[in-house]
Amino acid sequence: MKTPTKETLLEMYRVMLLARRLDERAWVLHRQGKIAFHISGIGHEAAQVGAAFALERGKDWFVPYYRDLAMLLALGLTPLEFALGLLGKKGEPSSGARQMPSHWSLRRANVVSHSSPVGTQTPHASGIGLAIKMRGDSAVVLTSIGEGSTSQGEWYEGVNWAAIHRLPVIFLVENNVYAISVRQEQQMAVATVAEKASGLGLPGVTVDGLDALAVFDVVSEAADRARRGDGPTLVETRVHRLTPHSSDDDDRSYRPREEVEAMKAGDPLSAFEQRLKQSKVLSSEKQASLEEEIGKTVADAIQAAEAAPYPEVSEASYPVYVEDIRRG
Amino acid sequence: MKTPTKETLLEMYRVMLLARRLDERAWVLHRQGKIAFHISGIGHEAAQVGAAFALERGKDWFVPYYRDLAMLLALGLTPLEFALGLLGKKGEPSSGARQMPSHWSLRRANVVSHSSPVGTQTPHASGIGLAIKMRGDSAVVLTSIGEGSTSQGEWYEGVNWAAIHRLPVIFLVENNVYAISVRQEQQMAVATVAEKASGLGLPGVTVDGLDALAVFDVVSEAADRARRGDGPTLVETRVHRLTPHSSDDDDRSYRPREEVEAMKAGDPLSAFEQRLKQSKVLSSEKQASLEEEIGKTVADAIQAAEAAPYPEVSEASYPVYVEDIRRG
Amino acid sequence: MAEITLIEGLRQAMDEELARDDRVFIVGEDVGPRGGVFRATQGLFEKYGSGRIIDSPLAELSIIGVGIGAALYGLRPICEIQFADFIHPAFNQIVNEAAKMCYRSNGEWTVPMVIRAPYGGGIGGGLYHSQSLEAFFAHVPGLKVVVPSTPREAKGLLKAAVRDPNPVLVFEPKKGYRLIKGEVPEGEEILEPLGVARVSRVGTDLTAIAYGMMHHYTLQAADALAQEGISVEVIDLRTLLPLDKATVLGSVGKTGKALIIYEDNLTGGYGGEIAAILADEAFTDLDAPVRRLGGPDVPAMPYSHPLQDWFLPNPVKIAGAMRELAAF
Amino acid sequence: MAEITLIEGLRQAMDEELARDDRVFIVGEDVGPRGGVFRATQGLFEKYGSGRIIDSPLAELSIIGVGIGAALYGLRPICEIQFADFIHPAFNQIVNEAAKMCYRSNGEWTVPMVIRAPYGGGIGGGLYHSQSLEAFFAHVPGLKVVVPSTPREAKGLLKAAVRDPNPVLVFEPKKGYRLIKGEVPEGEEILEPLGVARVSRVGTDLTAIAYGMMHHYTLQAADALAQEGISVEVIDLRTLLPLDKATVLGSVGKTGKALIIYEDNLTGGYGGEIAAILADEAFTDLDAPVRRLGGPDVPAMPYSHPLQDWFLPNPVKIAGAMRELAAF
Ligand SMILES: Cc1ncc(C[n+]2csc(CCOP(=O)(O)OP(=O)(O)O)c2C)c(N)n1
Ligand SMILES: Cc1ncc(C[n+]2csc(CCOP(=O)(O)OP(=O)(O)O)c2C)c(N)n1
Ligand SMILES: [Mg+2]
Ligand SMILES: [Mg+2]
């Protein structure tokens, strides 16, 4: 069972901090009327970074969902690339600005394109797992989803495939208890999403998603199991959605402010920061310099993206078919 | 906990025997080239009759599937009505001969029309359960399905609704281990369908579906739970499909003859007959007279159906909309 | 007379029907305390309670499937699909179940239900929050398909849909939710008949046929052409299935020229059926080719706004097509 | 040259492609030891093993969703949907996922997959084993839709579909599986290009456009009319999306009259798009109304054979429509 080195711990922290600052900046841009839409990962960063670092980045495959900014940054998405997506600018790597922001795809990092309809990605991950098994490769595939979306038949059918064929898939559930305004109790009659695994015949684990290292351990174990040929694992991370669902949402109508304030007390970023400081991995100086460096990175990325052109209108007509693909 | 009277036991046996003889006759008609299609319930009769008799026929609701001939007979479908369906003749009550045989519907007995796509009926049952609860009625609804069809997202989503809202629904699974040629191990990674209940948050029970009284007891209990307002139950009955999937199937390509022969040893009809004889509920004389009476009933029904006209071609054009409904 | 928005017309329709008939209830994602993501059900949860305004699990097929079950029992569900783009998981329940129930049961079982789905582009929704899907469903006998374009029609058509005994799919032009305002008399009951188109502008040189947002753009284009001395008759179809053929044929019989405008992909779009009807039944009246102005044949509307603008028909593009046709 | 059936052409195509490319595999219900319910994959399980001929769970959306995932990884799945009537649960995966993947990822991710679906009536299948669904999918940019009508085309088009880098949906006229026989050269490689229609009978008085079984009936009707001195040109479309417009326009430009024959419901059927194209682009060539002969607008094909016969176009009905059009 591997444990992250000091360097890895610092890198995990850096990615979480970068994700947080980029995300906060996106909210500001929205308030300024510079972007039309943002969907936030604030509160989910520890789960995403813990999971990503537990896998072999560059080799393993990922089928994420819209909250996974921190995961994508861990996989190599650059701040500029994210910013281009926010603004719908040319060169945005996931879709050439065809999709809404945070609809991820990054071929160079084995990150598969996902759509908006929730749950559709789950069978894709099982299909990738089936292909890995058929080819005798040693990669694993991780797919993430919110707890509400596990109500979809697509999720059930996708997980069932992996369980039957013991495919190398990790089903990561980021459970923030809300699906927009609908609470978990209205989505399922079980107390934890992990319990759903027992009905599908695969191991299910619930882990504190505010604790990056706890998630790192559980996902490392799931990856080992998958590589051993022992099949898939359902990993439920309990996280907090510290923002409204998206920039289109106003959550005051359905959740009390006190609840949100209480959650903020358990902010996964500061928790990880405290922990690294206590274990002397992170000094206050280092932390300050990281903040500064990241502040600059974010500012530069936004500036460059604002300066970037929109796609030419001519780009909109392709590629409908593979025959129409144009590079560059 | 109610126990069936002597009369009820005899009636259960009569319905099982009637179902068996009608079913056998349908296979003969197919061999004779008189009908184009038959799908059989032979081996499932005990589960269906045990379940139907455990409910309040006339008051409770049913959303069955194509193997449920014995259940439908228990609910009041007449042999002639079944025969008219087999031959696609006018007056067939489930669809006016629009649907294939064994696509049940019997409004007068609260039996809802189902289609061929498997799994579609499950959410309907939950919707009926929701309506019963909204209206404060005391009926329960039972829906049946094969084990293979529980792989459908429609089944999962439908059961999930009933579990969340604690609806008065009984999900009866007739598990014969095959979905046409595909065995249970290729459908699910759990050993019993009942285990799926644990992932959905409702009670799940597995019962010997070859034992009508065992099924009667389990379904009675489930009905009590539903009427008490304590929600749905998943009841898995282990049954045998003693025939090919349908008259279009030849099961020799995928299951050994020995397996089928072994199953026939455990024929639920003879098992029930033995039991009633041992408990002196059924005498050999009574059994013989029942056989004779039913033999005649079946012969008359087929004869009448063969003599019956086809629907007029003019009937085919309606009712597309409620406005087009014509009575008689 | 109060001036209200299109979405307020919808909200009033639901409020009035909920008050009129206690069998009417609303089910969908976030329709409860959140009042719907577009606020179409704002205030109804507070007024009618959780028993009649039901936040569903995040699972479209079960929203429809459960609605069908409730309708079979005799209730009058109004099912909200949050965006039309997410109706696909329910395709089986709508097309194979709701639409075919009346016919397949020879009128014994019917499905009085309404499905509401916000559709259409121009809101920065990208591929999965901009779709127009009417062509799929206007091809399904047994369904009725309605597209209101004004607040009065939104209110009157939705109220009529709730009272209609058949499954009615209401596609709501979401770009017009707050953009389109109009006078709606208070106090009196507003009911608009299904299946009746409306000549919204009288003209002599050509007939322009549209619905939803495109109807408003078409009126603007017609105004522009009036300046040039070209007189355009505009038809707002209002109901796509069943189509009001008489109004369409009557107008084209008068003008001899027809342009059909829709924002869905051109190929296989709903306008094709109208053009086909004209090519057959109005052939001798036609003085010019039947023209269609639709969206381009790319998979869906791209996000980046220059690309979105490229996709969408607008008054300028429509005026251009009218000019060309008038000059033929 | 051996004379083979249409389904044998399909079987040979899969056998050859499985042998040629080890990335090709087959997944579907009962495709393994059972060899498919129509025996299209007969013998392939024995030859290629359970690793490449995979019996899926009874869950269509996951057959397609898992296929998509495998295709994203680089494999070449051939997904069998047992009857086209059961493709609806996979509508979301086909329309929102497979068809949009290339465009939405700006060509970074592609889905080289084949979906085979037996379609059409005349086999006593009733509402849910007789459907024609091409209109739904020929409206979806990003998909290719193929309908072979002869053994040679079945083989050549399916082999080309397997090699095509896009998602290709092959609707197989199941009534013709064993009915339609034809010479197919052995030894040489049979490949038929996608997107190319075929003039199967040269004529001068009118153009009849069809595909699948209707193409054969149309040829029979054309023979009958030849006796009466009416010369009909017949086009077998073979690929519905993309449509070979040049061949259609060329023929109608010559004859001046067009009849389109399809067995799907008339309203919103695929023939409407062809009529619309002719009404625009061939307007000046047309000497008569563009006529369509389709199935009636009832939800689906009824079972009882007089009702089924009423639904289906046949050589007599087609000849009647040709006569009427020729006389215009
Ligand atoms: C099929 C489908 N239905 C509805 C939506 C609209 N929608 C977007 S996100 C969301 C809630 C998702 O909740 P959850 O799965 O818990 O993920 P979270 O956003 O909480 O991370 C909904 C209803 C959608 N995108 N897709
Ligand atoms: C959605 C759908 N897919 C495929 C079929 C074809 N089909 C009919 S019955 C059947 C097997 C059903 O097996 P199971 O659910 O175990 O029920 P059983 O027939 O064994 O009682 C299949 C695949 C169908 N009817 N519907
Ligand atoms: Mg959530
Ligand atoms: Mg079975």
Instruction: For D165-222, write each residue's pLDDT tens digit.
Output: 999 999 999 999 999 999 999 889 999 999 999 999 999 999 999 999 999 999 999 9
Supply the ipTM of this predicted assembly: 0.98
* Integer angstrom CA distances of residue B101 from A5, A149, B17, C156, D13: 67, 38, 20, 42, 35
Among A248, A254, A310, beta carbon nearest to C33 = A254
- Report helix, strand or coil for B163: helix
Q: Are C135 and C322 in contact (CB under 8 A)?
A: no
Q: What's the confidence (pLDDT) of residue D1?
A: 76
Strand, coil or helix: A218: helix
A166 belongs to the catalytic site: no
Instruction: Compute the distance from residue A260 Cα to the ligand 3 centre, in Å.
Output: 14
- Does ligand 1 lie within 6 Å of residue A116's CB atom? yes
Mean local confidence (pLDDT), C69-80: 98
pLDDT value, residue D110? 98
Q: Is a pLDDT exceeding 90 seen at residue A2?
A: no
Q: Which residues pair with A208 in a beta bridge?
A: A238
Considering only CB atoms, C273 lies closest to which of D61, D272, D284, namely: D272
Q: B176 CA distance to ligand 2 centroid (A)?
A: 12
Residue of A100, A149, A188 with shortest CB distance to C126: A100
Nearest chain C CA: its distance from A20 CA (Å): 25
Please tell me the distance between residue B192's alpha carbon and the centre of ligand 2 in angstroms. 18
Looking at residue B1, its pLDDT comes to: 60
Please indicate whether residue D93, judged by its CB atom, sits closer than 6 Å to ligand 2: no
Closest Cα in chain C to A318 = C298
pLDDT in tens, C3-61: 999 999 999 999 999 999 999 999 999 999 999 999 999 999 999 999 999 999 999 99
Residue A1 confidence (pLDDT) above 70: no
Q: Could you say which of A120, A164, A326 has the minimum Cβ distance to residue D93?
A: A120
* Exposed / middle / buried, residue A185 (Cβ in 10 Å: 0-12, 13-18, 19+): exposed
Q: How far apart are CA B116 and CA D85, in angstroms?
A: 9
CB-side neighbour CA atoms (13 Å) of B270: 5
Residue of A227, A254, A255, A275 with catalytic role: A254
C88 is catalytic: no
- Per DSSP, the three-state class of B5 is coil
Residues 106-145 of C with CB under 8 A from D: 127-128, 135-136, 138-142
Å from A286 to nearest chain B CA? 46
CB of residue B174 inside a 6 A radius of ligand 2: yes
Give pLDDT, residue A50.
98
How much is the average pLDDT of A222-236?
98
CB D88 within 8 A of CB D95: no
Determine which of C283, C287, C291, C303 to mutate to test the interface with D (most D C-beta atoms within 10 Å).
C283
Asked whether the predicted pLDDT for residue D92 surpasses 70, the reply is: yes
Residue A67 CB–ligand 1 contact under 6 Å: yes
Cα B160 to chain centroid, rounded = 22
C-alpha D161/C-alpha D73 separation (Å) is: 18
Task: Indicate whether residue A272 lines ligand 1 (CB < 6 A).
Answer: no
CA C182, CA A78: separation in Å to the nearest integer? 48
| Bridge partners, residue B161, by sequence | none
pLDDT, tens digit, 9 for 90 and up, residues B92-126:
999 999 999 999 999 999 999 999 999 999 999 99
D29 lines ligand 2 (CB under 6 A): yes
Determine the pLDDT at residue D187. 86
Chain A residues with CB within 8 Å of chain C CB: 36-37, 88-89, 95, 97-100, 103, 115-119, 148-149, 151-154, 179-182, 186-188, 248-249, 253-254, 310-313, 315-318, 320
* pLDDT in the model for residue B292: 98
Any ligand 1 atom below 6 A from CB of C29:
yes
D278 touches chain C (CB under 8 A): yes
Q: Is the pLDDT at C242 greater than 80, yes or no?
A: yes
Cα(B48)–Cα(B102) distance, rounded to whole angstroms?
14
pLDDT at residue A327 above 70? no
Q: Are residues B88 and D305, on separate chains, in Cβ contact within 8 Å?
A: yes
Element (H, E) at D206: strand D206-210
Does residue A328 register a pLDDT over 70?
no
* Cα–Cα distance for residue pair B259/B261, rounded to 1 Å: 5
Which chain A residues are Cβ-neighbours of D165 within 8 angstroms? 321-323
The verdict on whether omega for the bond into residue D242 sits within 30 degrees of 0, i.e. cis, is: yes
Mean pLDDT of A219-227: 98
* Atom 6 (ligand 1) nearest CA: C82
Q: Per-residue pLDDT tens for B159-210?
A: 999 999 999 999 999 999 999 999 999 999 999 999 999 999 999 999 999 9
pLDDT at B218: 98
Which chains does B contact via 3+ CB–CB distances below 8 A?
Answer: A, C, D
What residue has token string 């045990």?
B50
Q: What is the pLDDT of residue A315?
A: 95
Q: Look at D296 and B316 and tell me if their CB atoms are within 8 Å.
A: yes
Q: Is residue D42 pLDDT above 80, yes or no? A: yes
The span from the CA of B278 to the CA of B272, in Å, is: 10
Cα of B154 vs centre of ligand 4, distance in Å, is 17
Q: Does D32 touch chain C (CB under 8 A)?
A: no
Strand partners, A142: A62, A170
Helix boundaries (H) for chain A: 6-31, 45-53, 69-74, 79-87, 121-135, 153-164, 195-200, 212-227, 257-265, 268-278, 284-307
Rounded Cα–Cα distance for residues B175 and B211 (Å): 14
| Tokens (6 digits) for C45 | 């949860």
Residue D161 pLDDT exceeds 90: yes
Low-confidence ranges of chain B (pLDDT < 50): none
| Residue D294 contacts C where some CB pair is shorter than 8 Å | no
Q: Please state at what angle helix C245-255 crosses helix C270-281, rounded to 10 degrees.
A: 60
Tell me how close the Cα of B204 comes to any Cα of chain D, in angstroms.
Answer: 21
Residue contact C265–D103, C-beta within 8 A:
no
Q: D125: which chain B residues are within 8 Å (Cβ-Cβ)?
A: 100
Report d(CA B249, CA D37) in Å as an integer: 8
